[in-house]
C-alpha cells in the first residue's frame, strides 16, 4: 500500500499514450528550431515592431474591423433567437420525440465547426461577410440551443405550474413565469458566446467570409509582415474591447439591484 | 525600540507589540511576553480575544505594527527574506482547523512535517514511495492512530484529523511549537492524552511550547504558567498557583461557567472540503 | 398629493427599456449593412444551383477501402496533434501558473501584500499568458505554416502556445479559488514553494485541474481539425483538399468521421473526468 498503484498506473498510461502520439507525428521538430524558421519568425517580429499604418490601409482595416464586429454581433443575435426557439422542444415542452429530434439537430449544428460552415456558406451565398454571419448563426444556434435547453430544464417548475393551475395558457405562462427566471442566464450565455464569436468571426475570413480574417489571409499569403501585424493588432484590440464590454454587461445584469 | 527584557539565545518574546486588523482595529495592543527556551505555557481567554493572532505573530506569520520581537533569540523583522524563511523552518504553527488536503493520504500529511528539512527531490520521491513511512507511523502511534497510516484524510473523523495534524508536529523537528486550540475536537480523555504527548515531546526536544486552550481546566491541570488574553491585551501572566478564581472571572466575564464545562463556544475544527467526491 | 400618486404609477423601468430598445435598433441597422445581409441571395438562381450541386455531390459518401484508410490515418494524426499540443500547453502552463500564483508567495505571508519584485514578476507572467491566448490558434498555425512549412509541427506548436495561455490562466484561477490554508501553513512553517505545491495546493485542486485539462484536450481535437484547413495536418487538411475539389462524397465521409471523433472524445473525456473526481 505504500505505492499508490492507481495513481501510478494512471500516470504511466497517460505517458505511454503521449509517447505513441509523438511517434505518430512527422517528428519534424528540428525544422521548428531551424535557422530558416528562426529567420522567418524574425521577419514577423520585425513586422510587428513596425506595423503598417498609412491612411488608406488604416481605413480598410477600420472597415474590416467593423465588418468583423457586425458579423459576430448579428450572428450571435440570430443564434440567440434561433437557439431559444429550438430550445423549447429540446427542453421537452412538446414531448419526447420532438426533444430527441431537436437535440439531434442542435448537435449537428454544434458539431460542425464554424469554419466548415463558413466554407459551405461561401458556396451558398458567395464570398463576403454574409457567409460569415450565416456560418456563425448556424453554429451558434446549436451551441446556444443546447445551453438554453439545459437552462429551461433546470428552471423551477412551480411558478409555471401555478399559473397553469388557474387556467393560464401555455404561452403567457412561459412569458410570465419561465422566461423571467432564465433571462439572466440566457443573456449571460449569449454575451459569453459573443466574446467567442468575435474571435471566430475574425478567423472565418480565412476562407473568404469577410472581415479581418480575409485581410489576414491576403496579407499573410503575400508574406507582407507589416500589414499582417497591423491586422493582428486590430484583432487583439477588437477581441479585448468585446471581452471588456461583455464582462461589464454581464456584471451589470447579475449585480443585485 | 528597547531590547526585550530577559532576552537570550533561544528566547521567544514580544515587547509592546501591537497588531492591527486590515480594517484598522487593534487585534493585539501593547503585548509584552517572554518565553524562555523549553518553557511550556498555556494561553487562555474568551473567543475573539486575540489568541490566534498572538500565535500567528509569534510565528512570524503576521507583522506587528509596533513593538519589538524575538523569535528563538533572533529579531525576525530585521532579517532579509531568505533568512526569515530559514527561521520559519525552526518553528511550527498549528492552526485551529487541521490543514490537511482531503484527498491526501495520512502518511504524506504527517511527513509534510519533515518538508522544511527535505530537498524538493526528496519530497517528490516520498510522494511516490514514502520510504520514511516509519517516521509517520511512530508519530501516529503516539496518538493511537497508526492503523490510519495509508487512509485518505477525508475518511477520518474530525478528532482523528486533529490528531493527525498533531502527529505532523511530532514528525517535524521544530524548536518553537505554537498550537492554536489543538484539542478542541477531542473528548476529555483523548484531549488529556494528546496534551501529555505534546508536552512530553516538547520537553524531550527542549522546545518552547505555547498552546492556546479553550478548556481552562485542562490548562490548569497541565501547564505551570498561564497567560490570560482578553480583547487583545494580556490580562495576566501568572504561575498556575497564583491564578485565582477572580482572575478567571475577570477574564471570561459571564462565560466562565461555560468554559469550565465541556463544549467550546466555537464550532469544532471543521475540515473545509472543496466539493463532494 | 393627487399628482404624486399618479407619478407613482409610471413604470420606473420604462425609460431604461426604451433606451435599450432604441440603442438596439440603432446598432442593428449598420450591422445589417456591414454584413451585406441579403437572404434573397440564398434563393437566387446561381447560388441555389451551386449549393444544390454541392449538396448533391455529398451523396453517396465516399467509402472505398483506400479512402477510408486515408481518412482513419488522418484522424489518428489529428488526435496525435491535439494530444501532443495539449502536452506542450501543460508544459508551458504549469510552470507559469506556479510562478504567477499568489498562493505560493512567501513575501505575502506576514503582511498580506507581496514585495515589489515578486509582484512585478507575477504580473509579467500573467500578461504573457494573456498575450499567448489572445491570438487565435489558427493564426498561430498560419504563421507557423509560413515559417516551418505545411504539416503537423505547425499545428502542435499553435495549440501548445494558445492553450498554454488558456490553461495557465485557468490553473491560476483554480489554485487561487481553492482552499489555500493547507499550503499557507506549510509555507508559514518553512517549507519551500514547490514543496507547498506538491504537498498541499496540488492535492487540494487536482480534480479540477485535471478536469479542465481533459476538457481542453477535447477542444484541442476540434481545433486541430480546424487548423488543418490552413495546412497544419490531419483530418482538416484532407477535408480542405476535398472541398477544393468539390468532392462532396469525400467531404461527407470526413464530416461523419469528424462528428464521430468529437463524440468519442466527449465520451472519453466525460469518463476520465468522472473517474478522476
Tell me if residue C9 falls in helix, strand or coil. coil
What pLDDT, on a 0 to 100 scale, did the predictor assign at position C130? Answer: 86
Q: Which chains, if any, share at least 3 CB pairs under 8 A with chain C?
A: A, B
Q: A1 touching B, CB under 8 A? A: yes
Q: What pLDDT was estimated at residue C5?
A: 55
Cα separation, A73 vs A137, in Å, equals: 10
For A218-236, the pLDDT digits (tens) are: 888 887 888 888 898 898 8
Buried b (16+ CB within 10 A) or exposed e, A97-111: eebeebbebbbebbb
Share of chain B above pLDDT 70, in %: 88
| C85 sits in which H/E element | helix C65-100
What is the per-residue pLDDT for B195?
A: 95
Residue C188, pLDDT > 60, answer yes
- For residue B5, is pLDDT > 60? no
DSSP letters, B133-179, are: HHHHHHHHHTTT-GGGTTSBGGGS-HHHHHHHHHHHHHHS--SEEEE
Q: How far apart are CA A237 and CA A212, in angstroms?
A: 12
What lies within 8 Å, CB to CB, of B18 at 6+ separation is: B26, B28, B29, B30, B31, B64, B65, B66, B67
B267 pLDDT above the threshold of 50? no
Q: What is the pLDDT of residue B275?
A: 38
The cell for A112 is 460542425
Average the pLDDT over C217-240 and give the result.
Answer: 88
In the block, cell 472540503 appears at B273
Mean pLDDT within C39-54: 75
Grid cell of C29 as nine digits: 441597422
Looking at residues A144-169, what average pLDDT do you find?
A: 89
Which of C30, C76, C151 lies closest to A28 in CB terms? C151
pLDDT band at B8 (very low <50, low <70, confident <90, very high): low
C-alpha cell, B61 = 506569520
* Residue A227: predicted pLDDT: 87
Mean pLDDT for chain A overall: 87
Is the backbone of residue C246 left (phi > 0), alpha (psi -120 to 50) or beta? left
Other beta carbons within 10 Å of C159: 31
> Is A5 in the B-facing interface, judged by CB distances under 8 Å?
no
* pLDDT score at A254: 72
- pLDDT, tens digit (0-9, with 9 covering 90-100), for C189-206: 999 999 999 999 999 999
With a cut of 80, say whether residue C246 has pLDDT above it. no
Three-state SS at C277:
coil
The model's confidence at residue C276, banded by pLDDT at 50, 70 and 90, is confident
pLDDT at B234: 92
Q: Could you check whether the bond before residue C60 is cis, i.e. omega within 30 degrees of 0? A: yes
Quick one: what percent of chain A has pLDDT higher than 70? 97
Spell out which residues of chain B touch residue C114, defining contact as CB-CB under 8 Å: none
Query: What is the pLDDT, as a whole number, of residue B254?
Result: 62
Query: What is the pLDDT of chain B when averaged over all its residues?
Result: 86
Across residues B242-269, what is the average pLDDT? 64
Please determine, for residue A83, whether its predicted confidence score (pLDDT) is greater than 70.
Answer: yes
B92-115 pLDDT, tens digit per residue, is 999 999 999 988 999 999 999 999
pLDDT at B262 over 70: no
Q: Which of A23, A38, A125 to mutate to test the interface with C (most CBs of C within 10 A)?
A: A125
Averaged pLDDT for residues A91-118: 88
Question: How, if at all, do strands B225-230 and B233-239 pair?
Answer: antiparallel
User: Considering only residues 137 to 176 of chain B, which have any Cβ-Cβ distance to chain A shorter than 8 Å?
Assistant: 150
Distance CA B108, CA B127 (A): 7
Residue B239: predicted pLDDT = 93
Model pLDDT, residue A108: 87
Q: What is the pLDDT of residues B168-221, one digit of tens each?
A: 999 999 999 999 999 999 999 999 999 999 999 999 999 999 999 989 999 999
Can you give the pLDDT at residue C31?
Answer: 86
Q: Which CATH number, 2.40.110.10, 3.30.1490.20, 1.10.3720.10, 3.30.2010.10, labels domain A51-254?
A: 1.10.3720.10
Neighbours of B146 (CB within 10 A): 15
Q: Is it the case that residue B117 has pLDDT exceeding 80? A: yes
pLDDT score of C259 more than 90: no
Q: What is the pLDDT of residue A247?
A: 85
Q: What is the pTM (predicted TM-score) of this model?
A: 0.80
The more confidently predicted of residues A46 and A177 is A177
Average pLDDT, chain C: 86
Q: How confident is the model at residue A78 (pLDDT cuts 50, 70, 90)?
A: very high
User: Average pLDDT of B133-152?
Assistant: 94
Q: Are the beta carbons of A24 and C147 separated by less than 8 Å? A: no
- In this prediction, residue B4 carries a pLDDT of 42
- pLDDT grade for C3, boundaries at 50, 70 and 90: low
Look at the alpha carbons of B245, B249, B250, B251 in this order and tell me if their dihedral is positive or negative: positive
Domain architecture of chain B: domains with CATH: 1-90+175-257 (3.40.50.300), 97-173 (no CATH)
Per-residue confidence (pLDDT) for residue A120, from 0 to 100: 84
Is B61's Cβ below 8 Å from some Cβ in C?
A: yes
Per-residue pLDDT at A4 exceeds 60: yes
Measure in Å the smallest separation between the Cα of A3 and chain B Cα atoms: 5
Distance of CA C125 to the CA centre of its chain: 20
| B66 vs A43, more confident | B66
Kindly report the number of other CB atoms within 10 A of residue B216's CB atom.
20
Q: Which residues pair with B31 in a beta bridge?
A: B17
Instruction: Sort B276 into a burial class: Cβ within 10 Å, 0-12 / 13-18 / 19+.
Output: exposed
Query: Which pLDDT belongs to residue B9?
Result: 64
Please write the tens of the pLDDT for every residue from A13-44.
999 999 999 988 877 777 667 777 778 778 77
Closest-CA residue of chain C to A63:
C34
pLDDT at B43 over 90: yes
Contacts of C31 in chain A (CB under 8 A): 70, 73-74, 77
CB A133 within 8 A of CB A212: no
- Per-residue model confidence (pLDDT) at position C149: 79
- In the structure, what pLDDT confidence band is assigned to residue C91 with cuts at 50, 70 and 90? very high
Contact B54, B29 (CB under 8 A): no
* Nearest-angstrom CA–CA distance, C96 and C133: 13
How close B78 comes to chain C (CA, Å)? 13
Match 471566430 to its residue by C-alpha cell.
Answer: A200
What was the pLDDT predicted at B264?
A: 47
Q: How many residues does chain B have?
A: 277
Taking 60 as the threshold, does the pLDDT of residue B1 lie above it? no
Amino acid at each position: 500500500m505504500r505505492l499508490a498503484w492507481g495513481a501510478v498506473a494512471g500516470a504511466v498510461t497517460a505517458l505511454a499514450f503521449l509517447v505513441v502520439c509523438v511517434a505518430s507525428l512527422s517528428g519534424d521538430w528540428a525544422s521548428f528550431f531551424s535557422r530558416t524558421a528562426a529567420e522567418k519568425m524574425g521577419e514577423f517580429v520585425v513586422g510587428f515592431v513596425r506595423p503598417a499604418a498609412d491612411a488608406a490601409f488604416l481605413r480598410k482595416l477600420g472597415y474590416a474591423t467593423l465588418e468583423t464586429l457586425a458579423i459576430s454581433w448579428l450572428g450571435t443575435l440570430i443564434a440567440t433567437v434561433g437557439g431559444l426557439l429550438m430550445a423549447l422542444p429540446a427542453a421537452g415542452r412538446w414531448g419526447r420525440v420532438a426533444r430527441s429530434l431537436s437535440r439531434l439537430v442542435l448537435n449537428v449544428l454544434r458539431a460542425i465547426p464554424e469554419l466548415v460552415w463558413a466554407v459551405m456558406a461561401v458556396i451558398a451565398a458567395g464570398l463576403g461577410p454574409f457567409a460569415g454571419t450565416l456560418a456563425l448563426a448556424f453554429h451558434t444556434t446549436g451551441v446556444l440551443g443546447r445551453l438554453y435547453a439545459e437552462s429551461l430544464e433546470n428552471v423551477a417548475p412551480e411558478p409555471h405550474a401555478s399559473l397553469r393551475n388557474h387556467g393560464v395558457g401555455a404561452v403567457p405562462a412561459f412569458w410570465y413565469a419561465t422566461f423571467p427566471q432564465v433571462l439572466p442566464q440566457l443573456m449571460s450565455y449569449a454575451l459569453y458566446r459573443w466574446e467567442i464569436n468575435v474571435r471566430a468571426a475574425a478567423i472565418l475570413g480565412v476562407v473568404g467570409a469577410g472581415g479581418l480574417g480575409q485581410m489576414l489571409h491576403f496579407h499573410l499569403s503575400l508574406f507582407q509582415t507589416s500589414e499582417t501585424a497591423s491586422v493582428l493588432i486590430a484583432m487583439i484590440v477588437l477581441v479585448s474591447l468585446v471581452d471588456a464590454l461583455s464582462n461589464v454587461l454581464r456584471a451589470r445584469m447579475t449585480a443585485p439591484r | 525600540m528597547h531590547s526585550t527584557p530577559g532576552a537570550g539565545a533561544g528566547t521567544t518574546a514580544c515587547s509592546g507589540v501591537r497588531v492591527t486588523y486590515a480594517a484598522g482595529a487593534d487585534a493585539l495592543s501593547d503585548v509584552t511576553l517572554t518565553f524562555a527556551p523549553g518553557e511550556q505555557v498555556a494561553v487562555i481567554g474568551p473567543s475573539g480575544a486575540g489568541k490566534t493572532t498572538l500565535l500567528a505573530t509569534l510565528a512570524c506569520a503576521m507583522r506587528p505594527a509596533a513593538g519589538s520581537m524575538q523569535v528563538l533569540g533572533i529579531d525576525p523583522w530585521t532579517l532579509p527574506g531568505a533568512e526569515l524563511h530559514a527561521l520559519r523552518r525552526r518553528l511550527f504553527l498549528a492552526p485551529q482547523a487541521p490543514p490537511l488536503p482531503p484527498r491526501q493520504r495520512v502518511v504524506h500529511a504527517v511527513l509534510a512535517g519533515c518538508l522544511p528539512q527535505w530537498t524538493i527531490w526528496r519530497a517528490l520521491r516520498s510522494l511516490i514511495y514514502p520510504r520514511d513511512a516509519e517516521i509517520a507511523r511512530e508519530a501516529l502511534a503516539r496518538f493511537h492512530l497508526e492503523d490510519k497510516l495509508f487512509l485518505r484524510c477525508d475518511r477520518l473523523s474530525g478528532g482523528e484529523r486533529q490528531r493527525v495534524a498533531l502527529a505532523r508536529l511530532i514528525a517535524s523537528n521544530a524548536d518553537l511549537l505554537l498550537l492554536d486550540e489543538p484539542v478542541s475536537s477531542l473528548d476529555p480523555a483523548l484531549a488529556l492524552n494528546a496534551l501529555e504527548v505534546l508536552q512530553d515531546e516538547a520537553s524531550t526536544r527542549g522546545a518552547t511550547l505555547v498552546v492556546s486552550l479553550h478548556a481552562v481546566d485542562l490548562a490548569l491541570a497541565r501547564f505551570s504558567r498561564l497567560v490570560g488574553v482578553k480583547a487583545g491585551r494580556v490580562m495576566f501572566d501568572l504561575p498556575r498557583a497564583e491564578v485565582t478564581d477572580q482572575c478567571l472571572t475577570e477574564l471570561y466575564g459571564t462565560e466562565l461557567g461555560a468554559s469550565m464545562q465541556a463544549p467550546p463556544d466555537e464550532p469544532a475544527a471543521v475540515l473545509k472540503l472543496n466539493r463532494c467526491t | 398629493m393627487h399628482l404624486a400618486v399618479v407619478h407613482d404609477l409610471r413604470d420606473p423601468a420604462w425609460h431604461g427599456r426604451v433606451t435599450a430598445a432604441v440603442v438596439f435598433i440603432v446598432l442593428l441597422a449598420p450591422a445589417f449593412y456591414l454584413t451585406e445581409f441579403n437572404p434573397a441571395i440564398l434563393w437566387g438562381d446561381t447560388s441555389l444551383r451551386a449549393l444544390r450541386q454541392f449538396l448533391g455531390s455529398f451523396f453517396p459518401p465516399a467509402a472505398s477501402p483506400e479512402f477510408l484508410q486515408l481518412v482513419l490515418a488522418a484522424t489518428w494524426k489529428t488526435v496525435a496533434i491535439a494530444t501532443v499540443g495539449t502536452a506542450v500547453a501543460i508544459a508551458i502552463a504549469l510552470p507559469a501558473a506556479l510562478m504567477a500564483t499568489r498562493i505560493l508567495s512567501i513575501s505575502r505571508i506576514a503582511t498580506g501584500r507581496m514585495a515589489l519584485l515578486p509582484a512585478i514578476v507575477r504580473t509579467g507572467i500573467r500578461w504573457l499568458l494573456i498575450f499567448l491566448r489572445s491570438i487565435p490558434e489558427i493564426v498561430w498555425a498560419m504563421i507557423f505554416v509560413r515559417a516551418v512549412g505545411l504539416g503537423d509541427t505547425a499545428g502542435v506548436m499553435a495549440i501548445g502556445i494558445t492553450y498554454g495561455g488558456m490553461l495557465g490562466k485557468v490553473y491560476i484561477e483554480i489554485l487561487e479559488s481553492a482552499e489555500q490554508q493547507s499550503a499557507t501553513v506549510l509555507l508559514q512553517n518553512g517549507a519551500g514553494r514547490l514543496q507547498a505545491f506538491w504537498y498541499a495546493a496540488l492535492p487540494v485542486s487536482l480534480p479540477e485541474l485535471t478536469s479542465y485539462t481533459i476538457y481542453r484536450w477535447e477542444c484541442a481535437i476540434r481545433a486541430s481539425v480546424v487548423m488543418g484547413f490552413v495546412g497544419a495536418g490531419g483530418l482538416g487538411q484532407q477535408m480542405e483538399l476535398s472541398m477544393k475539389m468539390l468532392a462532396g462524397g469525400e467531404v461527407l465521409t470526413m464530416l461523419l468521421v469528424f462528428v464521430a471523433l468529437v463524440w468519442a472524445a466527449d465520451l472519453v473525456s466525460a469518463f476520465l473526468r468522472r473517474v478522476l473526481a
